Amino acid sequence: MRKRHLPAGFRQRVRNYERQRWAAMRGVDECEMIRNLPEGLRRDIKYHLCLDLVRQVPLFQHMDDLVLENICDRVKSLIFTKGETITREGDPVQRMLFVVRGHLQSSQVLRDGLKSCCMLGPGNFSGDELLSWCLRRPFIERLPPSSSTLVTLETTEAFGLEAEDVKYVTQHFRYTFVNEKVKRSARYYSPGWRTWAAVAIQLAWRRYKHRLTLTSLSFIRPRRPLSR
């Protein structure tokens, strides 16, 4: 950092990240330690380490052990410090992110300059655009754009599935991801679908109130002007 003359703000963010990473992992990168082990042994160890975390995600509760084993083998542990911008709206979605500990704020710019915000906590996930991208036929190689901006509200621990890993799992276990229970879970816990549902409900409520106002005004007779 001294050689590249990084500003003080960047240096402080680097130190905060290293401090939080040390507090969470105690300087031990478990995934790096088992990376060179035989494939079967590595998969069994990662399945043992990550299964409880994966099962906390409602999206994966309706999947069989074979799918969960492949997901556990490909997830990566991630740590984000407070105030970090993980994804910006419109950027290509690089990974699916599953929150284990901490909270994120998902914001989306609506029409007329309005902004919608929601909070993601443990068990929530983002990047569900990748599921629609992988299951789309015909398949398009270009990554989908993000529908929201993600910012950490506190130090957050999560695990991620890269776009290529999501593509691999959905293609090999397509029968699981086209299941109606999995589709409903993905939509229910998706921040994008929740934002769309909230906006639709609010617009319907405003139209209903407007109709009530017009109906009440139709019963009011206009006052006659006073004669001189």
* Side-chain-facing half-sphere of 51: CA atoms under 13 Å: 13
The domain limits of the chain are 8-215
Global pTM?
Answer: 0.71
CA-based Rg of the chain, rounded to a whole angstrom?
24
Task: Encode pLDDT of 37-76 as tens digits.
Answer: 888 888 888 888 788 778 777 778 778 888 888 888 888 8
Which of the listed ranges 31-35, 51-55, 56-60, 144-148 does the model predict with the highest average pLDDT? 144-148
Cα-to-chain-centroid distance, residue 132? 14
DSSP assignment of 117-142 equals: EEEE-TT-EE-THHHHHHH-SS---S
Fold held by 8-215:
Jelly Rolls (2.60.120)
